[in-house]
Amino acid sequence: MTRSFLPYILVAQRLGIAFVTLIIVSFAVFFATAMLPGDVAEILLGQAATPEAVAGLREAMGLDEPALSRFVHWLLGLAQGDMGTSYVNNIEVAELIGGRLLNSLRLAAVVTLVSVPVALTLGICAAMWRGSIFDRLVSLLTIFVVSVPEFMVATLAVLVFAVWLGWLPALSYGVELDSWSAMLRAYAMPVISLSLVVSAQMIRMSRAAVIETINTPYVEMALLKGASLSRMVLRHALPNALGPIANAVALSLSYLVGGVIIVETIFNYPGVAKLMVDAVSTRDLPLIQSCAMIFCVSYLSLITLADLIAILSNPRLR
Protein backbone atom coordinates (compact mmCIF):
# COMPACT_ATOMS: atom_id res chain seq x y z
CA MET A 1 0.00 0.00 0.00
CA THR A 2 1.67 3.22 -1.09
CA ARG A 3 1.22 6.42 0.81
CA SER A 4 -0.57 8.22 -2.01
CA PHE A 5 -3.57 5.94 -1.65
CA LEU A 6 -3.93 6.60 2.04
CA PRO A 7 -6.28 9.61 1.78
CA TYR A 8 -8.66 7.72 -0.52
CA ILE A 9 -8.77 4.78 1.86
CA LEU A 10 -9.46 7.12 4.77
CA VAL A 11 -12.17 8.91 2.78
CA ALA A 12 -13.81 5.61 1.85
CA GLN A 13 -13.60 4.52 5.46
CA ARG A 14 -15.17 7.77 6.65
CA LEU A 15 -18.00 7.47 4.12
CA GLY A 16 -18.58 3.89 5.23
CA ILE A 17 -18.82 5.01 8.86
CA ALA A 18 -21.25 7.75 7.83
CA PHE A 19 -23.43 5.19 6.05
CA VAL A 20 -23.49 2.80 9.02
CA THR A 21 -24.25 5.74 11.30
CA LEU A 22 -27.13 6.74 9.06
CA ILE A 23 -28.61 3.24 9.30
CA ILE A 24 -28.31 3.21 13.09
CA VAL A 25 -29.76 6.72 13.33
CA SER A 26 -32.75 5.81 11.16
CA PHE A 27 -33.21 2.72 13.30
CA ALA A 28 -33.26 4.91 16.40
CA VAL A 29 -35.66 7.43 14.85
CA PHE A 30 -38.03 4.72 13.64
CA PHE A 31 -38.13 2.78 16.88
CA ALA A 32 -38.30 5.83 19.13
CA THR A 33 -41.41 6.99 17.28
CA ALA A 34 -43.03 3.78 16.10
CA MET A 35 -42.49 1.41 18.99
CA LEU A 36 -42.96 3.37 22.16
CA PRO A 37 -46.40 4.95 21.99
CA GLY A 38 -48.21 1.64 22.00
CA ASP A 39 -50.91 1.45 19.40
CA VAL A 40 -51.04 4.01 16.63
CA ALA A 41 -54.41 2.75 15.40
CA GLU A 42 -56.00 3.41 18.80
CA ILE A 43 -54.56 6.90 18.93
CA LEU A 44 -55.86 7.63 15.44
CA LEU A 45 -59.38 6.43 16.04
CA GLY A 46 -59.70 8.06 19.43
CA GLN A 47 -61.30 6.79 22.60
CA ALA A 48 -64.69 5.84 21.15
CA ALA A 49 -63.28 3.30 18.67
CA THR A 50 -64.58 -0.28 18.73
CA PRO A 51 -62.00 -3.09 18.99
CA GLU A 52 -63.07 -4.28 15.50
CA ALA A 53 -62.37 -0.89 13.96
CA VAL A 54 -58.97 -0.76 15.63
CA ALA A 55 -58.12 -4.26 14.40
CA GLY A 56 -59.23 -3.32 10.87
CA LEU A 57 -57.11 -0.20 10.80
CA ARG A 58 -54.14 -2.08 12.22
CA GLU A 59 -54.34 -4.54 9.39
CA ALA A 60 -54.80 -1.83 6.77
CA MET A 61 -51.74 0.03 8.04
CA GLY A 62 -49.64 -3.12 8.21
CA LEU A 63 -49.11 -2.73 11.95
CA ASP A 64 -49.53 -6.47 12.48
CA GLU A 65 -46.28 -7.20 10.70
CA PRO A 66 -43.16 -7.64 12.81
CA ALA A 67 -41.48 -4.35 13.69
CA LEU A 68 -38.28 -5.20 11.87
CA SER A 69 -40.01 -5.79 8.55
CA ARG A 70 -41.94 -2.53 8.98
CA PHE A 71 -38.62 -0.79 9.57
CA VAL A 72 -37.12 -2.24 6.40
CA HIS A 73 -40.24 -1.26 4.43
CA TRP A 74 -40.09 2.25 5.80
CA LEU A 75 -36.38 2.62 5.07
CA LEU A 76 -36.70 1.27 1.52
CA GLY A 77 -39.65 3.57 0.91
CA LEU A 78 -37.69 6.51 2.24
CA ALA A 79 -34.76 5.69 -0.04
CA GLN A 80 -37.12 5.83 -3.01
CA GLY A 81 -38.65 9.12 -1.89
CA ASP A 82 -41.84 7.60 -0.48
CA MET A 83 -42.28 9.20 2.92
CA GLY A 84 -45.73 7.86 3.65
CA THR A 85 -48.95 9.71 4.39
CA SER A 86 -49.66 12.12 7.21
CA TYR A 87 -51.92 10.73 9.93
CA VAL A 88 -53.60 14.02 10.58
CA ASN A 89 -54.79 15.19 7.17
CA ASN A 90 -54.04 12.28 4.84
CA ILE A 91 -51.78 14.34 2.62
CA GLU A 92 -48.57 12.81 1.27
CA VAL A 93 -45.73 13.74 3.61
CA ALA A 94 -43.52 14.56 0.62
CA GLU A 95 -46.08 17.13 -0.48
CA LEU A 96 -46.24 18.70 2.98
CA ILE A 97 -42.49 18.91 3.25
CA GLY A 98 -41.62 20.01 -0.30
CA GLY A 99 -42.19 23.78 -0.11
CA ARG A 100 -41.22 23.95 3.53
CA LEU A 101 -37.86 22.34 2.83
CA LEU A 102 -37.19 24.96 0.18
CA ASN A 103 -37.95 27.71 2.71
CA SER A 104 -35.62 26.18 5.27
CA LEU A 105 -32.84 25.70 2.73
CA ARG A 106 -33.25 29.32 1.63
CA LEU A 107 -32.92 30.46 5.25
CA ALA A 108 -29.86 28.25 5.75
CA ALA A 109 -28.27 29.54 2.54
CA VAL A 110 -28.77 33.19 3.45
CA VAL A 111 -27.42 32.55 6.96
CA THR A 112 -24.37 30.81 5.51
CA LEU A 113 -23.74 33.65 3.07
CA VAL A 114 -23.98 36.21 5.86
CA SER A 115 -22.17 34.40 8.65
CA VAL A 116 -19.19 32.74 6.93
CA PRO A 117 -17.43 35.90 5.66
CA VAL A 118 -18.18 37.88 8.82
CA ALA A 119 -17.15 35.08 11.17
CA LEU A 120 -13.94 34.25 9.30
CA THR A 121 -12.89 37.90 9.17
CA LEU A 122 -13.53 38.34 12.89
CA GLY A 123 -11.88 35.03 13.79
CA ILE A 124 -8.73 35.69 11.76
CA CYS A 125 -8.45 39.28 12.99
CA ALA A 126 -8.88 38.13 16.59
CA ALA A 127 -6.11 35.59 16.09
CA MET A 128 -3.88 38.20 14.42
CA TRP A 129 -4.20 40.66 17.29
CA ARG A 130 -4.33 38.04 19.99
CA GLY A 131 -4.56 39.49 23.48
CA SER A 132 -5.69 42.92 22.29
CA ILE A 133 -8.88 44.64 23.44
CA PHE A 134 -10.51 43.63 20.15
CA ASP A 135 -9.63 39.97 20.69
CA ARG A 136 -10.92 39.99 24.26
CA LEU A 137 -14.14 41.69 23.23
CA VAL A 138 -14.74 39.14 20.46
CA SER A 139 -13.92 36.24 22.80
CA LEU A 140 -16.22 37.56 25.49
CA LEU A 141 -19.12 38.02 23.08
CA THR A 142 -18.69 34.60 21.48
CA ILE A 143 -18.48 32.86 24.87
CA PHE A 144 -21.68 34.63 25.82
CA VAL A 145 -23.52 33.56 22.66
CA VAL A 146 -22.20 29.98 22.90
CA SER A 147 -23.23 29.52 26.51
CA VAL A 148 -26.79 30.81 26.35
CA PRO A 149 -29.69 28.96 24.66
CA GLU A 150 -30.49 29.76 21.03
CA PHE A 151 -33.89 31.15 21.93
CA MET A 152 -32.23 33.69 24.19
CA VAL A 153 -30.06 34.97 21.37
CA ALA A 154 -33.20 35.33 19.28
CA THR A 155 -35.05 37.00 22.15
CA LEU A 156 -32.21 39.46 22.69
CA ALA A 157 -32.09 40.21 18.96
CA VAL A 158 -35.81 41.01 19.04
CA LEU A 159 -35.33 43.16 22.13
CA VAL A 160 -32.52 45.16 20.53
CA PHE A 161 -33.63 45.48 16.91
CA ALA A 162 -37.42 45.53 17.31
CA VAL A 163 -38.21 46.91 20.76
CA TRP A 164 -35.39 49.35 21.47
CA LEU A 165 -34.34 50.41 17.97
CA GLY A 166 -37.70 49.80 16.32
CA TRP A 167 -36.14 48.87 12.95
CA LEU A 168 -37.92 45.57 12.44
CA PRO A 169 -41.23 43.97 13.43
CA ALA A 170 -40.91 41.97 16.66
CA LEU A 171 -42.53 38.72 15.59
CA SER A 172 -43.41 38.37 11.93
CA TYR A 173 -46.72 36.59 12.37
CA GLY A 174 -48.46 36.24 9.03
CA VAL A 175 -46.64 39.03 7.28
CA GLU A 176 -47.58 39.22 3.63
CA LEU A 177 -44.53 38.97 1.46
CA ASP A 178 -45.79 41.22 -1.33
CA SER A 179 -42.82 43.56 -1.65
CA TRP A 180 -39.05 43.46 -1.45
CA SER A 181 -38.90 45.44 1.76
CA ALA A 182 -41.58 43.31 3.43
CA MET A 183 -39.69 40.16 2.56
CA LEU A 184 -36.44 41.66 3.76
CA ARG A 185 -38.08 42.59 7.04
CA ALA A 186 -39.61 39.14 7.49
CA TYR A 187 -36.29 37.44 6.79
CA ALA A 188 -34.17 39.81 8.82
CA MET A 189 -34.86 38.63 12.37
CA PRO A 190 -34.50 34.87 11.73
CA VAL A 191 -31.34 35.48 9.69
CA ILE A 192 -29.81 37.76 12.32
CA SER A 193 -30.53 35.33 15.17
CA LEU A 194 -29.32 32.23 13.36
CA SER A 195 -26.23 34.00 12.04
CA LEU A 196 -25.31 35.05 15.57
CA VAL A 197 -25.61 31.47 16.84
CA VAL A 198 -23.63 29.97 13.98
CA SER A 199 -20.94 32.65 13.74
CA ALA A 200 -20.09 32.48 17.44
CA GLN A 201 -18.96 28.88 17.00
CA MET A 202 -17.22 29.68 13.76
CA ILE A 203 -15.30 32.64 15.18
CA ARG A 204 -14.04 30.58 18.13
CA MET A 205 -12.97 27.66 15.99
CA SER A 206 -11.31 29.66 13.20
CA ARG A 207 -9.48 31.78 15.77
CA ALA A 208 -8.18 28.63 17.43
CA ALA A 209 -7.15 27.14 14.07
CA VAL A 210 -5.17 30.24 13.05
CA ILE A 211 -3.53 30.56 16.47
CA GLU A 212 -2.42 26.95 16.30
CA THR A 213 -0.66 27.64 13.00
CA ILE A 214 0.84 30.88 14.26
CA ASN A 215 2.44 28.94 17.10
CA THR A 216 4.43 26.72 14.73
CA PRO A 217 8.19 27.35 14.30
CA TYR A 218 8.01 28.24 10.59
CA VAL A 219 5.62 31.12 11.25
CA GLU A 220 7.83 32.33 14.06
CA MET A 221 10.69 32.18 11.55
CA ALA A 222 8.72 34.41 9.19
CA LEU A 223 8.23 36.92 11.98
CA LEU A 224 11.93 36.77 12.89
CA LYS A 225 13.06 37.43 9.33
CA GLY A 226 11.05 40.65 9.46
CA ALA A 227 7.68 39.90 7.90
CA SER A 228 4.92 42.24 9.03
CA LEU A 229 2.12 40.97 11.24
CA SER A 230 -0.44 40.89 8.44
CA ARG A 231 2.03 39.23 6.06
CA MET A 232 2.93 36.65 8.67
CA VAL A 233 -0.72 35.74 9.26
CA LEU A 234 -2.18 36.11 5.77
CA ARG A 235 0.74 34.87 3.66
CA HIS A 236 2.45 32.33 5.92
CA ALA A 237 -0.04 31.04 8.47
CA LEU A 238 -3.38 31.21 6.67
CA PRO A 239 -2.70 28.79 3.79
CA ASN A 240 -1.91 26.05 6.28
CA ALA A 241 -4.84 26.96 8.49
CA LEU A 242 -7.33 26.75 5.61
CA GLY A 243 -8.02 23.05 6.16
CA PRO A 244 -8.84 23.40 9.86
CA ILE A 245 -10.85 26.55 9.09
CA ALA A 246 -12.94 24.79 6.44
CA ASN A 247 -13.43 21.99 8.93
CA ALA A 248 -14.56 24.55 11.51
CA VAL A 249 -17.00 26.14 9.05
CA ALA A 250 -18.66 22.80 8.27
CA LEU A 251 -18.85 21.88 11.95
CA SER A 252 -20.32 25.25 12.89
CA LEU A 253 -22.90 25.00 10.15
CA SER A 254 -24.12 21.80 11.82
CA TYR A 255 -25.31 24.10 14.63
CA LEU A 256 -27.81 25.37 12.08
CA VAL A 257 -29.78 22.17 12.63
CA GLY A 258 -30.43 22.83 16.30
CA GLY A 259 -30.71 26.58 15.90
CA VAL A 260 -33.18 26.43 13.05
CA ILE A 261 -35.68 24.46 15.18
CA ILE A 262 -35.79 27.20 17.79
CA VAL A 263 -35.58 30.15 15.43
CA GLU A 264 -38.30 28.93 13.05
CA THR A 265 -40.59 28.39 16.03
CA ILE A 266 -39.99 31.82 17.53
CA PHE A 267 -40.43 33.72 14.31
CA ASN A 268 -43.16 31.49 12.93
CA TYR A 269 -41.05 30.87 9.85
CA PRO A 270 -42.70 28.36 7.49
CA GLY A 271 -39.85 25.84 7.33
CA VAL A 272 -39.34 22.13 8.02
CA ALA A 273 -38.49 22.73 11.69
CA LYS A 274 -41.76 24.57 12.33
CA LEU A 275 -43.58 21.78 10.52
CA MET A 276 -41.92 19.23 12.75
CA VAL A 277 -42.62 21.05 16.02
CA ASP A 278 -46.27 21.34 14.95
CA ALA A 279 -46.27 17.64 14.04
CA VAL A 280 -45.00 16.82 17.53
CA SER A 281 -48.00 18.53 19.10
CA THR A 282 -50.41 16.59 16.86
CA ARG A 283 -48.33 13.38 17.19
CA ASP A 284 -48.24 12.95 13.42
CA LEU A 285 -45.62 10.19 13.40
CA PRO A 286 -44.84 9.76 9.66
CA LEU A 287 -44.33 13.51 9.37
CA ILE A 288 -42.09 13.56 12.47
CA GLN A 289 -40.03 10.64 11.19
CA SER A 290 -39.47 12.22 7.80
CA CYS A 291 -38.57 15.63 9.23
CA ALA A 292 -36.25 14.00 11.77
CA MET A 293 -34.53 12.07 8.98
CA ILE A 294 -34.07 15.26 6.96
CA PHE A 295 -32.37 16.90 9.93
CA CYS A 296 -30.25 13.86 10.73
CA VAL A 297 -29.09 13.55 7.13
CA SER A 298 -28.12 17.22 6.91
CA TYR A 299 -26.36 17.07 10.28
CA LEU A 300 -24.49 13.90 9.35
CA SER A 301 -23.48 15.26 5.94
CA LEU A 302 -22.06 18.40 7.50
CA ILE A 303 -20.11 16.45 10.12
CA THR A 304 -18.84 13.99 7.51
CA LEU A 305 -17.92 16.88 5.21
CA ALA A 306 -15.93 18.43 8.05
CA ASP A 307 -14.03 15.19 8.59
CA LEU A 308 -13.41 14.71 4.86
CA ILE A 309 -12.01 18.22 4.58
CA ALA A 310 -9.75 17.51 7.54
CA ILE A 311 -8.48 14.33 5.89
CA LEU A 312 -8.00 15.79 2.42
CA SER A 313 -6.38 19.02 3.57
CA ASN A 314 -3.76 17.26 5.65
CA PRO A 315 -0.64 17.28 3.45
CA ARG A 316 1.00 14.66 5.66
CA LEU A 317 -1.39 12.08 4.23
CA ARG A 318 -0.56 12.80 0.62
Partner 1 sequence: MADTVSHTLSEDKAPEGPKFVFNWVGRIGLAVIVFWAIVAIAGPFLAPHPPGEIVDWDYFGPVTSEFWMGTDYLGRDIFSRIIMGARYTVGIALAAVTLACTIGVLLGMIAAVAGGWFDMILSRLLDAFNGIPSLLFGLVVVAAVGSSIPILIMTLTAIYMPGSYRFARALAVNINTMDFVTVARARGEATPYLILREIFPNILGPVLADLGLRFVFIVLVLSGLSFLGLGVQPPNADWGALVRENIEGLSLGAPAVVFPSIAIASLTISVNMFIDNLPTLIRDRSE
Other C-beta atoms within 10 Å of 161: how many?
Answer: 18
Which residues face 92 on adjacent strands?
Answer: 85
Which residues face 85 on adjacent strands?
Answer: 92
User: Among residues 277, 312, 314, 317, which is the contact residue for partner 1, using CB under 8 A?
Assistant: 277
- Residue 105 binds partner 1 (CB under 8 A): no
- Residue 63 binds partner 1 (CB under 8 A): no
Helix (H, G, I), strand (E, B) or coil at 92: strand
Query: By CB under 8 A, which span of 52-60, 148-156, 178-186, 244-252 interacts with partner 1?
Result: 148-156
Give the residue with the Cβ less far from partner 1, 224 or 297: 297
Cα(234)–Cα(129) distance, rounded to whole angstroms? 13
Residues between 211 and 270 that touch partner 1 (CB under 8 A): 254, 257-258, 261-262, 265-266
Cα(81)–Cα(65) distance, rounded to whole angstroms? 22
* Phi, psi of 275, deg, nearest 5: -60, -40
Which residues in 206-235 are b (16+ Cβ under 10 Å) and which e? bbbbbbebbeeeebeebbeeeeeeeebbee
In the chain, what is the straight-line distance between the N-terminal and C-terminal CA atoms, in Å?
13
- Residue 137 binds partner 1 (CB under 8 A): no
Residues between 296 and 315 that touch partner 1 (CB under 8 A): 296, 299-300, 303
- Residue 29 binds partner 1 (CB under 8 A): yes
Residues between 158 and 177 that touch partner 1 (CB under 8 A): 158-159, 162-164, 170-171
Q: Which residues bind partner 1 (CB under 8 A)?
A: 17, 20-22, 24-25, 28-29, 32-33, 36-37, 143-144, 147-152, 155-156, 158-159, 162-164, 170-171, 254, 257-258, 261-262, 265-266, 276-277, 279-281, 283, 285, 288, 292, 295-296, 299-300, 303
